[in-house]
Each structure stands twice: as structure tokens, then as C-alpha cells.
Amino acid sequence: MRRVAEDGAEQEMKLTVLKCVGYGKRTPWLWCRAGLRALVWMMSASAATACAWGQTPAPSQANQNETVATAPASPNSSTAKGGDPAQAKGDIFASVIANQKRTEAALGVYERTQRVEYRHSSSDPKPANVKTFRLFPAGTGMDKILVSEDGRPISDETYRLELEKLEKMLEWAAQSGAAQQEAYAKAEKKQKERMDLIESTHNAFVFTRIGEEMRGERKLITYSMMPNPKYKPATRNEIVFTRVQGTVWIDEQSKELARIEGRVTEDISLALFLAKVNKGSTFMQERYELFPGVWLPTFEQFDFDGRKFWLSFAIHEKTFYSNYRHVGPPKDAVEVVRSELSKPKEEKADP
């Protein structure tokens, strides 16, 4: 059975050059999906940053539209007490970065079920194919085990074999040898790159408050998200920021990203112009507070069209995430797997 180890959307984005010209085992459809997930991750990062920048409307404004540019002053802030506005702004931005770091860390210690519906076009009422995976954090990456396809579960023997492989992977990751230290150092470097990318997004977009709505008992503040015309991207990844726009919903109480909808406004070239994502492609993601203070993705949708060389491709997917469970770092997570392996077949855990 094919296994997929995923250790960050940005890494996949950087690998698209090699994948486009034929290196690696991923099909064009798979590498494009991975690269486009990077778009959602980067947009989510920018949206999470947006909640740090609140501004009361200028005196001349008569409606609720509000351009996000500076930090709000709370009763206990240094600005409200006559302190330095710049310092208050920095403090709020630091809190938003901390929120995003918590989400990143949580994804590394929570297992979950991923159900992917594949369609030929966004208008198809029924999916052409449905796959369910078990995503399990494995230290420096995410192990992805196929659980069922089109409603047909894999055999007990195959599933047990995958769990045994996962057990060995976690045992390896729990050790502190030279190879493990090197692997974790690479993972930490990628993590830092993602955090640096988050910090660049507050300059890449102009967020304007356009309304509010209720989701259950929680109030969400809605912002439009437009590219900042003054922004100069410094890296290939940052160029994406100049070619997308959309809408974000921020939970008023927690200052967490609850929903994002985006669309591609200009063709996005990949792999030295050997491939591109077409203008008009769309994506969205939803997040909920699944555990106290922990906001995690529950749904995302991609409707992308493009070309690789002279061939057209299309990605139309709906992905549902459920059954989140805290398993901890590898030294703890391996015990979860061992417990499952010790159960008789009829008591096999349903991930």
C-alpha cells in the first residue's frame, strides 16, 4: 500500500519544480493538490494575522467598513494608558503569532480522520471517488494510512501491517540518535520558515471589515482580503499573495480564524512556467474550536483548474476532518499504537 508522509504544505510548494519536470513518484494531480494546499495554508496564516490589526473607523466614515491597519487599544493596553502605540501593536501581533503556533503544534500531536471526496467538476452532485485516511503524527511528519475507498474498508491484515509500520516509525522518532536529531532539525527549520511567512503576511494584504455574523453562539467578524499594492514579495512563495483575494471570518472572542474563502485573480505559474493554476480557481477552509483554546480545520474545498505543459488538469475536492484525538509526541503516541495492536481483531479501534 502506498504511504504518504506530509510534513508541511510549504515544503510541498517548494518541491513542485522537481515534480513538474518528472522527478519523484507523485502524479501531476497529486503534486498540484499538495502545492495548492500550500495556498490555503498561506492564506490561513494571513487571515490569522488579520485579527491582530483592528482600527476604529475614521471620523469621516459613516458605515461599518473598516480598513485593518493598526492595533486596537484595550482598556489595559499601553496605548489606552498613554503608552507607546507601536509597542501595543507589537504585543497584539505577538499574541496572534502565538495562536498560529499553537495550531501548528496541535496538528503535530493530534491524530484525525480525513475523508476526501473527488469530483470531476465542482457542479457534480456526487463524488466520483471517496477515500478515508487516518492521519497520525509521527514526529517529523504525518503518516497517512488508507482506511477505506468508496465505502470499502481495507482488510484487517493490511491495516495491521500499516499499524506495525507506524509503530516502528514512532519508535525511531522517539529516539535521540544522530539521525533523529538531523530529522528534527530539518523539521524545526521548516517550522521557522512557516513562522517567518506568517510574519510577512500582515504587509501582503489589506483587510477591510465588512460585517459580522453569528455562528452558533459565537460572533464572527468578516473581513475582505485584498492584495496590498505596495507589497513587494521577497520569495517565490510570497508571490502567491499578490494573486489571490478573498474573505475571512475571525472569531471575535478568541481572535482565531474561523473561515476563509479565496480565489485566484491571476494565473499562478509553477515550475518555471511549465505549469500554472488558472485565474478563477477557488478554495475555502473552516475551523472550529474542537478543544478548549484549540482551533483546528474541519472542512476544506478546492476547485482548481490549470495546465501542465500542454495538458489540462482539474482538482475538485471536498475534505472533511473529524475524530481528532490527542496522542502526544512519539514516545506517547507509540503507546497508542501498541495498545491497538494488542487488541484482538474484533476489537480493533475505529480511527
Across the chain, mean pLDDT equals 75
pLDDT at 171 over 90: yes
Q: Which is higher by pLDDT, 342 or 66?
A: 342
Residue 274 confidence class, pLDDT cut points 50, 70, 90: confident
* pLDDT at res. 43: 53
pLDDT at 250 over 70: yes
Residue 135 confidence class, pLDDT cut points 50, 70, 90: very high
Residue 45 confidence class, pLDDT cut points 50, 70, 90: low
Residue 38 confidence class, pLDDT cut points 50, 70, 90: low
Is the separation of the CB atoms in 290 and 30 below 8 Å?
no
User: What pTM does this model have?
Assistant: 0.77
3-state secondary structure of 346: helix
Highest mean pLDDT among 74-83, 103-112, 130-139, 236-245: 130-139
pLDDT at 20 over 60: no
Q: Which is higher by pLDDT, 72 or 213?
A: 213
The residues near 286 (Cβ < 8 Å, ≥ 6 apart) are 258, 259, 297, 298, 299, 300
* pLDDT at res. 33: 47
CA distances from 214 to 103, 219, 253, 259, 299 (A): 23, 5, 12, 12, 18
Q: Which is higher by pLDDT, 321 or 22?
A: 321
pLDDT at 245 over 60: yes
Q: Which is higher by pLDDT, 242 or 29?
A: 242
* pLDDT at res. 237: 75
Within 13 A of 187's CA, how many CA atoms are on the CB side?
Answer: 19
Q: Which is higher by pLDDT, 246 or 88?
A: 246
* pLDDT at res. 323: 97
For the chain, give every domain's residue range: 4-347
254-280 average pLDDT score? 84
pLDDT at 93 over 80: no
pLDDT at 244 over 70: yes
* pLDDT at res. 29: 44
pLDDT at 76 over 60: no
* pLDDT at res. 273: 64
* pLDDT at res. 95: 56
pLDDT at 285 over 80: yes
E strands, the chain, are 4-6, 66-68, 110-119, 129-137, 142-149, 152-153, 205-215, 218-227, 244-251, 257-264, 268-270, 275-277, 282-291, 294-308, 311-326
* pLDDT at res. 39: 52
* pLDDT at res. 317: 94
* pLDDT at res. 9: 38
pLDDT at 8 over 60: no
Residue 58 confidence class, pLDDT cut points 50, 70, 90: very low
Give the number of other CB atoms < 10 A from CB of residue 224.
18
274-290 average pLDDT score? 90
